[in-house]
Amino acid sequence: MVYDWFSSASSFRGWFALRMLVCDYEFPPIGGGASPVAGELASCLAERGHELDVVTMAFRGLPRLEEPRPGLRIFRVPCWRKHAYICSAKEMATWLGPALFRCLSLHRRNRYDLCHTHFLFPSGVVAWQMRKLTGLPYVVTCHGSDVPGYNPDRFGLEHRLLMPLWRAVIRNASAITFPSAFLRDLFVASSPVHPPLHVIPNAVHPDEFQPTTGEPIILFVSRLVPRKGAQALLSALDGVSAPGWEIHIVGDGPVRGEVEALAARMSIPTTVHGWLDRNSPVLTDLRRRAAIFAFPSLMENVSMVLLEAMASGQAVVTTSAGGNPEVVADTGVLFPPGDNDALRDAVVALMADEPRRRALGEAARARVLDRFNWASVTDAFEILLGSLGRGVRQP
């Protein structure tokens, strides 16, 4: 279990210093829920004295070289990418060559101890080629869509076509990590032969989220793709009358037009904000005020938006799909994925029960403080990466 790592992690702090290459096609401010995870982990490791160079995608107006803090440099290489919030397989492929070239150039100068790559594809392909060409070992962190069966509505065909390449990346990895036991088990079903596997969850800084004031607001935050369920939420609540309540949808994607059409006919006033940066004042204000976070996703790993809602003390309603039960446990309301009647009943019941909303929100925040904080998660990664890299030990 991942928490076995945490009990002894503090004794390793300061024992080594790594010079590390991070290969990640989606790094803040672009990408979905995995992007801020990768960004925060890199920042936390740099804060502890490790040196990290991140090779990621270039995107409109972002600087090609950025040093957001000492010990952390971000190199953005040319590619073709249309949207900040989502990337197609074809777009990923345009990044592979430039990313490999930049990684090789950087390694010649810096002689890294280890490569930490996020996603088996496309980033893992670059890490695998780096190992073939230079011998640099790599650790892969899976995030969901890179595991067959997790997101078949987007990558089912790609996984079948690229399976030999996918398995080559796995065979040559020194270790693979997963944010949830659910995703690890899904991976094992497709790859019975693999390196050591480790479950290390996603995390948040709980002190960045103030407990909500509990105003009558239902909040949804995610990409507007069919799997995430914004349209399911609005369909489930269509016709429900709830004076004083509001619904706020934050996100963008291919079903935004459908979501906006549903929002226009809702009895409960509904605002579709589009994509907002996770640190935007509008989203921060919504998190601070919303009483309920509704997230009817059909498949999740360890959802960052769930962790952020829990850290904000919101009463969570989400599906029992994927890793959601591992995240929420008994601090939220779970319902079967795709069951809009159960979704409506759960949300309506919470709207009418302020004491239960408050109790669930307090329990959710306490759970995040205990199990999903960055100090413990960074400890776990520091042990794993340090045991596999050729780190320079500090006196």
**By the 8 A CB rule, do 5 and 200 touch?**
yes
pLDDT by residue, tens only, the chain of 395 residues: 333 344 344 444 445 789 999 999 999 999 887 898 999 999 999 999 999 999 999 999 999 999 999 999 999 999 999 988 888 889 999 999 999 999 999 999 999 999 999 999 999 999 999 999 999 999 999 998 888 888 766 666 666 777 788 889 999 999 999 999 999 999 999 888 899 999 999 999 888 898 999 999 999 999 899 999 999 999 999 999 999 999 999 999 999 999 999 999 999 999 999 989 878 999 999 999 999 999 999 988 888 899 999 999 999 999 999 899 999 999 999 999 999 999 999 999 999 999 999 999 999 999 999 899 999 999 999 999 999 876 544 43
Using DSSP's 3-state secondary structure scheme, residue 44 falls into helix
CATH topology of domain 206-371: Rossmann fold (3.40.50)
CA distance 37 to 49: 19
User: Is the link from the previous residue into 243 a cis peptide, with omega within 30 of 0?
Assistant: no
Q: What is the pLDDT of residue 33?
A: 78
Q: What is the pLDDT of residue 155?
A: 61
**By the 8 A CB rule, do 204 and 41 touch?**
no
One fold for 3-203+373-393 and 206-371: yes
Measured from the Cβ of residue 338, the count of other Cβ atoms closer than 10 Å reads 13
Would you list the domain boundaries of the chain?
Answer: 3-203+373-393, 206-371
Q: Which CATH number fits domain 3-203+373-393: 3.40.50.970, 3.30.420.40, 3.20.20.70, 3.40.50.2000?
A: 3.40.50.2000
Residues paired with residue 393 on neighbouring β-strands, in sequence order: 16
Q: Quick one: which of 230, 220, 237, 244 has its CA closest to 309? A: 220
**Which tokens is 343 given?**
């979704």
Q: What is the pLDDT of residue 32?
A: 81
Rg (CA), the chain: 21
Residues paired with residue 319 on neighbouring β-strands, in sequence order: 335
Q: What is the pLDDT of residue 4?
A: 39
Please spell the DSSP secondary structure of 261-306, one letter per residue.
Answer: HHHHT-SS-EEEEE---TT-HHHHHHHHHEEEEEE--S--SS-HHH
CA distance 354 to 375: 33
**By the 8 A CB rule, do 232 and 340 touch?**
yes
Q: Quick one: which of 318, 220, 314, 317 has its CA closest to 272? A: 220
CA distance 180 to 152: 19
